[in-house]
Amino acid sequence: MTKLTDLTITEALHGLNDKKFSAAELTEAHISAVEKARGLNIFITETPDGARRQAQESDARRASGKAGALDGIPLAIKDLYCTKGVRTTAASKILGNFVPTYESTVSQKLFDAGSVMLGKVNLDEFAMGSGGVTSAFNPTISPWSGSDPANAARKLVPGGSSSGSAASVAARIAMGATGTDTGGSIRQPASVTGIVGIKPTYGRCSRWGIIAFASSLDQAGPMTRDVADAALMLRVMAGFDEKDSTSVDVPVPDYVAALGKSIKGLKVGLPREYRIDGINPEVDALWHKSAEMLREAGAEVVDISLPHTKYALPVYYIIAPAEASSNLARYDGVRFGLRVAGENLDDMYASTRFAGFGKEVRRRILIGTYVLSAGYYDAYYRKAQRVRRLIRNDFVEAFKKCDVILTPASPGTAFAIGEKQDDPLQMYLEDVFTVTLNLAGLPGICLPVGLAQNGLPMGMQLIGRAFDEETLFTAASALEKAAKFTHKPPFTA
């Protein structure tokens, strides 16, 4: 018999509806799994009592015929989403004891649909990182650690910043998780942990109640074990929110209905600029194999050009720190969060921020403050925004020749904790295939396609037109069917 923790969301909903098990039993199985996985440092705050209460309420709704779309499904919530009455830290000392009095729009939508919160999961501090290693609560460890016998003692990163979200789903201790994606923080961890993650179009999901990193880039999205589950979760998470000025008032389609459709005649673009130096040869080979899988399923593969791609990383690392320096100015020890006493007000500000922010966050604040300062705004920030427009225009032109774009999601497989921490540039290069979508505001989905020789998963990314997540789900479901990825991390054995 399949363990309850091995079920997908879709399978669990069928089991709940057929009365094969209850939401309380499903939740208890996952609470036990969370306890057994504490060595991976996935959760910052566990909420077992609240989960049990939500599960009981779910069983009552199902008995009365009022079950929601995700009723009884245990989820992990990235600790960047404000949760009413539950500590929300952004993995930072400066918010170590912050307990919101309100609920984020996206998490409220999930709870309204009946889902169960197992707790708040780890991340890079304020979502700044690509390995889950900058958290003030120590790094998250990938459940894939030890998959290579030659490196069994190595502790691997689960990617970042949504490290805990990815690890919780891959380790089978949560059925799905919320993530956020500013420069690839859903798709890159999905790639290196062998799960599915989708960054929707900017404005598709509300950002209200999600602690901001870079407001023009941040977007919420689901992380799951298969494409169908991602479609289910996004259908619930998406929608217009008048509390978010960047939320777009457009209808939310039934993404599940887009799954399994024929892709005959669908045009899949391969951008020549993504053939970069330094890419893992196995990733490059799998990219072309994935294109062949889609071709065999009926798609037409075409070469395309995104000429300004080479400027994406430098543009991102001007715009994102600039917005971060502005957003993080609110953490000053006056209104909420950590306060370190000083001899005067300025000393209190400086002492609080030095004690409260980690090294990577301080680095990005300094970069952002510099590029926004007098004499440098025009030289850096304004020019970066102009190039951002050119990057978006590249996609507009490319989509005249294709319906979706296929690329790698990460330049390699998971690396060891500590391997790149002393070289910020190497860490920033982890986002080389993903940042373009955030700059252009486009949707992208990552799904697992194969294993490298070292036994670690590799994912591929599909990019779509703005607000055309339906076509992405159709193409992703076809690639998923062809790839037949069923591998599980050693931790689950």
Q: Which residues are catalytic?
A: 78, 161, 185
Q: Which of 461, 443, 456 is nearest to 489 (CA)?
A: 456
From the CB of residue 213, how many other CB atoms can be counted at a distance below 10 Å? 26
Structure-token match 């009552």, residue found:
60
Q: Tell me which residue of 25, 321, 8, 39 sits closest to 155, measured CA to CA.
A: 39
Structure tokens of 230?
């991602």
Phi, psi (degrees; rounded to nearest 5) at 461: -115, 135
At 440, the amino acid letter reads: A
Structure tokens at 252: 């939310």
Strands 74-78 and 116-121: parallel
